[in-house]
Amino acid sequence: MLQYPAIDPIALSLGPLDIHWYGVMYAIGFGLAWWLGRLRARRADTPVSPAQMDDVLLFGAIGVVVGGRVGYALFYSGGDLLADPLSLLRVWEGGMAFHGGLLGVIVMMAWYARRQRIGALALGDFVAPLIPPGLAAGRLGNFINGELWGAPTQWPWGMVYPPLGTEPRHPSQLYELALEGLALFALVWGFSRHPRPTGAITGVFLTGYGLARFAVEFVRLPDAHIGYLMGGWLTMGQLLSLPMVAAGLALLAWAYRHRLSPASN
Protein backbone atom coordinates (compact mmCIF):
# COMPACT_ATOMS: atom_id res chain seq x y z
CA MET A 1 0.00 0.00 0.00
CA LEU A 2 1.14 3.53 -0.79
CA GLN A 3 0.44 6.77 1.07
CA TYR A 4 -0.74 9.82 -0.81
CA PRO A 5 1.96 12.50 -0.58
CA ALA A 6 0.78 15.68 1.06
CA ILE A 7 0.91 18.14 -1.84
CA ASP A 8 -0.21 21.72 -1.47
CA PRO A 9 -2.55 22.42 -4.43
CA ILE A 10 -1.24 26.01 -4.43
CA ALA A 11 2.03 26.17 -6.33
CA LEU A 12 2.82 29.82 -5.58
CA SER A 13 1.29 32.70 -3.65
CA LEU A 14 1.93 36.24 -4.82
CA GLY A 15 0.25 38.44 -2.25
CA PRO A 16 -3.50 37.89 -2.58
CA LEU A 17 -3.01 35.85 -5.77
CA ASP A 18 -2.76 32.06 -5.44
CA ILE A 19 -1.42 30.15 -8.44
CA HIS A 20 -2.74 26.58 -8.31
CA TRP A 21 -0.93 23.55 -9.65
CA TYR A 22 -4.01 22.70 -11.70
CA GLY A 23 -3.71 25.99 -13.56
CA VAL A 24 0.03 25.43 -14.00
CA MET A 25 -0.75 22.04 -15.57
CA TYR A 26 -3.12 23.67 -18.07
CA ALA A 27 -0.36 26.13 -18.98
CA ILE A 28 2.11 23.26 -19.40
CA GLY A 29 -0.38 21.38 -21.58
CA PHE A 30 -0.93 24.36 -23.86
CA GLY A 31 2.80 25.04 -23.99
CA LEU A 32 3.57 21.46 -25.02
CA ALA A 33 0.86 21.58 -27.69
CA TRP A 34 2.36 24.79 -29.11
CA TRP A 35 5.90 23.36 -29.13
CA LEU A 36 4.89 20.04 -30.68
CA GLY A 37 2.72 21.88 -33.20
CA ARG A 38 5.67 24.00 -34.28
CA LEU A 39 7.65 20.79 -34.84
CA ARG A 40 4.86 19.16 -36.87
CA ALA A 41 4.25 22.32 -38.88
CA ARG A 42 7.72 22.03 -40.42
CA ARG A 43 6.59 18.99 -42.38
CA ALA A 44 5.53 19.42 -45.99
CA ASP A 45 2.33 17.37 -45.53
CA THR A 46 0.70 19.53 -42.85
CA PRO A 47 -1.93 22.22 -43.46
CA VAL A 48 -0.48 24.57 -40.82
CA SER A 49 2.71 26.62 -40.94
CA PRO A 50 4.83 27.29 -37.82
CA ALA A 51 3.67 30.92 -37.87
CA GLN A 52 0.02 29.80 -37.67
CA MET A 53 0.51 27.81 -34.46
CA ASP A 54 -0.17 30.86 -32.30
CA ASP A 55 -3.64 31.18 -33.82
CA VAL A 56 -4.26 27.42 -33.68
CA LEU A 57 -3.34 27.40 -29.99
CA LEU A 58 -5.56 30.41 -29.24
CA PHE A 59 -8.57 28.87 -30.97
CA GLY A 60 -7.89 25.53 -29.32
CA ALA A 61 -7.56 27.05 -25.85
CA ILE A 62 -10.89 28.86 -26.25
CA GLY A 63 -12.48 25.57 -27.29
CA VAL A 64 -11.02 23.71 -24.31
CA VAL A 65 -12.11 26.24 -21.68
CA VAL A 66 -15.54 27.16 -23.04
CA GLY A 67 -16.36 23.63 -24.18
CA GLY A 68 -15.08 22.13 -20.94
CA ARG A 69 -17.24 24.42 -18.83
CA VAL A 70 -20.36 23.98 -20.97
CA GLY A 71 -19.79 20.23 -21.15
CA TYR A 72 -19.50 19.95 -17.38
CA ALA A 73 -22.69 21.96 -16.92
CA LEU A 74 -24.60 19.81 -19.43
CA PHE A 75 -23.21 16.37 -18.61
CA TYR A 76 -22.40 16.48 -14.91
CA SER A 77 -24.31 19.21 -13.11
CA GLY A 78 -27.87 18.31 -14.00
CA GLY A 79 -30.17 21.27 -14.40
CA ASP A 80 -27.84 23.77 -12.76
CA LEU A 81 -27.11 25.49 -16.07
CA LEU A 82 -30.76 26.31 -16.71
CA ALA A 83 -31.31 27.41 -13.14
CA ASP A 84 -28.13 29.48 -13.00
CA PRO A 85 -26.60 30.29 -16.43
CA LEU A 86 -24.00 32.57 -14.83
CA SER A 87 -22.43 29.49 -13.19
CA LEU A 88 -20.51 29.05 -16.47
CA LEU A 89 -18.51 32.17 -15.65
CA ARG A 90 -17.55 31.06 -12.13
CA VAL A 91 -14.52 29.06 -13.25
CA TRP A 92 -12.96 29.35 -9.79
CA GLU A 93 -15.62 26.94 -8.52
CA GLY A 94 -14.15 24.19 -10.72
CA GLY A 95 -15.83 21.82 -13.11
CA MET A 96 -14.36 20.91 -16.49
CA ALA A 97 -15.38 18.00 -18.73
CA PHE A 98 -12.98 16.52 -21.26
CA HIS A 99 -15.74 15.49 -23.68
CA GLY A 100 -17.13 19.03 -23.64
CA GLY A 101 -13.65 20.45 -24.15
CA LEU A 102 -13.13 18.11 -27.10
CA LEU A 103 -16.38 19.26 -28.71
CA GLY A 104 -15.30 22.85 -28.11
CA VAL A 105 -11.97 22.22 -29.84
CA ILE A 106 -13.72 20.52 -32.78
CA VAL A 107 -16.01 23.53 -33.24
CA MET A 108 -13.17 26.04 -33.01
CA MET A 109 -10.89 24.04 -35.33
CA ALA A 110 -13.70 23.73 -37.90
CA TRP A 111 -14.19 27.49 -37.73
CA TYR A 112 -10.47 28.13 -38.08
CA ALA A 113 -10.22 25.69 -41.00
CA ARG A 114 -13.03 27.48 -42.78
CA ARG A 115 -11.40 30.87 -42.22
CA GLN A 116 -8.08 29.60 -43.56
CA ARG A 117 -9.71 27.58 -46.36
CA ILE A 118 -8.06 24.33 -45.34
CA GLY A 119 -9.63 20.92 -44.85
CA ALA A 120 -11.21 20.44 -41.42
CA LEU A 121 -10.19 16.78 -41.24
CA ALA A 122 -6.64 17.63 -42.32
CA LEU A 123 -6.48 20.17 -39.50
CA GLY A 124 -7.91 17.59 -37.10
CA ASP A 125 -5.12 15.19 -38.09
CA PHE A 126 -2.60 17.94 -37.39
CA VAL A 127 -4.03 18.79 -33.97
CA ALA A 128 -4.80 15.27 -32.66
CA PRO A 129 -1.19 14.30 -31.75
CA LEU A 130 -0.79 17.55 -29.80
CA ILE A 131 -3.57 16.77 -27.30
CA PRO A 132 -2.38 13.78 -25.18
CA PRO A 133 0.50 15.59 -23.41
CA GLY A 134 -2.02 18.14 -22.16
CA LEU A 135 -4.25 15.32 -20.95
CA ALA A 136 -1.32 13.86 -19.03
CA ALA A 137 -0.61 17.23 -17.42
CA GLY A 138 -4.29 17.66 -16.52
CA ARG A 139 -4.46 14.23 -14.86
CA LEU A 140 -1.38 15.10 -12.82
CA GLY A 141 -3.25 18.22 -11.75
CA ASN A 142 -6.19 16.02 -10.68
CA PHE A 143 -3.80 13.89 -8.61
CA ILE A 144 -2.28 16.93 -6.91
CA ASN A 145 -5.78 18.25 -6.17
CA GLY A 146 -6.75 14.91 -4.61
CA GLU A 147 -9.78 14.40 -6.86
CA LEU A 148 -11.23 11.75 -9.20
CA TRP A 149 -10.09 8.86 -7.02
CA GLY A 150 -10.69 5.22 -7.84
CA ALA A 151 -12.55 2.55 -5.90
CA PRO A 152 -10.99 0.70 -2.93
CA THR A 153 -8.45 -1.94 -3.93
CA GLN A 154 -6.03 -4.43 -2.40
CA TRP A 155 -3.62 -4.16 -5.31
CA PRO A 156 -0.07 -3.42 -4.07
CA TRP A 157 -0.05 0.06 -5.60
CA GLY A 158 -3.32 1.03 -3.93
CA MET A 159 -2.97 4.45 -2.34
CA VAL A 160 -4.42 5.74 0.92
CA TYR A 161 -5.91 9.19 0.59
CA PRO A 162 -6.68 10.29 4.19
CA PRO A 163 -9.72 12.51 3.42
CA LEU A 164 -11.48 9.41 2.02
CA GLY A 165 -10.55 7.10 4.89
CA THR A 166 -7.93 4.42 5.49
CA GLU A 167 -8.78 2.08 2.61
CA PRO A 168 -6.23 2.03 -0.22
CA ARG A 169 -7.71 3.16 -3.52
CA HIS A 170 -6.90 2.92 -7.19
CA PRO A 171 -4.90 6.06 -8.13
CA SER A 172 -7.12 6.36 -11.20
CA GLN A 173 -5.74 9.79 -12.07
CA LEU A 174 -2.33 8.18 -12.61
CA TYR A 175 -3.87 5.38 -14.67
CA GLU A 176 -5.42 8.04 -16.91
CA LEU A 177 -2.16 9.96 -17.03
CA ALA A 178 -0.43 6.80 -18.27
CA LEU A 179 -3.13 5.69 -20.75
CA GLU A 180 -4.81 8.88 -22.01
CA GLY A 181 -1.60 10.85 -21.81
CA LEU A 182 1.63 8.93 -22.31
CA ALA A 183 0.44 5.78 -24.11
CA LEU A 184 -2.00 7.67 -26.34
CA PHE A 185 0.68 10.21 -27.22
CA ALA A 186 3.10 7.44 -28.19
CA LEU A 187 0.39 5.78 -30.30
CA VAL A 188 -0.90 8.87 -32.12
CA TRP A 189 2.43 10.64 -32.51
CA GLY A 190 4.08 7.45 -33.78
CA PHE A 191 1.19 6.78 -36.16
CA SER A 192 1.38 10.33 -37.50
CA ARG A 193 5.11 10.23 -38.23
CA HIS A 194 4.35 8.97 -41.74
CA PRO A 195 1.74 10.33 -44.18
CA ARG A 196 -1.69 8.80 -43.56
CA PRO A 197 -5.04 9.10 -45.35
CA THR A 198 -6.92 12.20 -44.26
CA GLY A 199 -8.97 11.47 -41.14
CA ALA A 200 -6.98 8.41 -40.06
CA ILE A 201 -4.94 10.17 -37.37
CA THR A 202 -8.05 11.75 -35.90
CA GLY A 203 -9.71 8.33 -35.98
CA VAL A 204 -6.84 6.74 -34.06
CA PHE A 205 -6.98 9.50 -31.44
CA LEU A 206 -10.73 9.24 -30.91
CA THR A 207 -10.67 5.45 -30.71
CA GLY A 208 -7.62 5.34 -28.44
CA TYR A 209 -8.90 7.92 -25.99
CA GLY A 210 -12.38 6.42 -25.88
CA LEU A 211 -11.06 2.92 -25.12
CA ALA A 212 -8.58 4.18 -22.51
CA ARG A 213 -11.20 6.27 -20.71
CA PHE A 214 -13.80 3.48 -20.88
CA ALA A 215 -11.34 1.03 -19.30
CA VAL A 216 -10.21 3.27 -16.44
CA GLU A 217 -13.81 4.14 -15.55
CA PHE A 218 -14.25 0.55 -14.30
CA VAL A 219 -12.00 1.39 -11.32
CA ARG A 220 -12.68 5.13 -11.04
CA LEU A 221 -15.45 6.25 -8.72
CA PRO A 222 -18.31 8.01 -10.51
CA ASP A 223 -19.32 11.51 -9.50
CA ALA A 224 -21.15 11.19 -6.20
CA HIS A 225 -24.15 13.24 -7.33
CA ILE A 226 -24.58 11.09 -10.47
CA GLY A 227 -23.45 7.60 -9.50
CA TYR A 228 -23.69 4.66 -11.85
CA LEU A 229 -26.13 5.03 -14.71
CA MET A 230 -26.99 1.37 -15.27
CA GLY A 231 -26.25 -2.04 -13.81
CA GLY A 232 -23.92 -0.76 -11.11
CA TRP A 233 -21.05 -0.16 -13.54
CA LEU A 234 -21.88 2.20 -16.41
CA THR A 235 -20.61 5.72 -15.70
CA MET A 236 -21.19 9.03 -17.44
CA GLY A 237 -17.56 8.95 -18.62
CA GLN A 238 -18.12 5.57 -20.26
CA LEU A 239 -21.38 6.68 -21.85
CA LEU A 240 -19.70 9.73 -23.35
CA SER A 241 -16.70 7.68 -24.53
CA LEU A 242 -18.73 5.16 -26.53
CA PRO A 243 -19.60 7.66 -29.30
CA MET A 244 -15.91 8.58 -29.49
CA VAL A 245 -14.94 4.97 -30.15
CA ALA A 246 -17.71 4.57 -32.73
CA ALA A 247 -16.78 7.83 -34.47
CA GLY A 248 -13.08 6.96 -34.43
CA LEU A 249 -13.60 3.52 -35.96
CA ALA A 250 -15.99 4.92 -38.57
CA LEU A 251 -13.50 7.65 -39.46
CA LEU A 252 -10.68 5.12 -39.81
CA ALA A 253 -12.80 2.95 -42.11
CA TRP A 254 -13.77 6.00 -44.18
CA ALA A 255 -10.18 7.29 -44.34
CA TYR A 256 -8.73 4.04 -45.65
CA ARG A 257 -11.58 3.54 -48.05
CA HIS A 258 -11.20 6.96 -49.67
CA ARG A 259 -7.46 7.51 -49.00
CA LEU A 260 -7.48 11.28 -49.46
CA SER A 261 -4.26 13.20 -48.93
CA PRO A 262 -4.26 16.48 -46.93
CA ALA A 263 -3.59 18.40 -50.13
CA SER A 264 -6.81 17.10 -51.69
CA ASN A 265 -9.07 18.53 -48.96
Give the alpha-carbon dihedral of 173, 178, 182, 184, to 10 degrees.
Answer: -90
139 is in an annotated binding site: yes
Q: List all residues 6 or more positions away from 152 whose beta carbon is below 8 Å from its beta carbon.
A: 158, 167, 168, 169
Q: Cα(145)–Cα(5) distance, rounded to whole angstroms?
A: 11
Neighbours of 109 (CB within 10 A): 20
- Helix (H) or strand (E) holding 168, with range, is strand 168-169
- Answer whether 108's CB lies under 8 Å from 74's CB: no
Residues forming beta bridges with residue 19, ordered by sequence position: 12
- Answer whether 245's CB lies under 8 Å from 208's CB: no
CA angle (9 as vertex; 7, 10 as ends), nearest 5: 120
Q: Cα(60)–Cα(34) distance, rounded to whole angstroms?
A: 10
* CA 131 to mean position of chain CA atoms: 7
Cα 107 to Cα 20, 22, 120: the distances in Å are 28, 25, 10
Computed on alpha carbons and rounded to an integer, the radius of gyration of the chain in Å comes to 19
Binding-site annotation, residues: 139
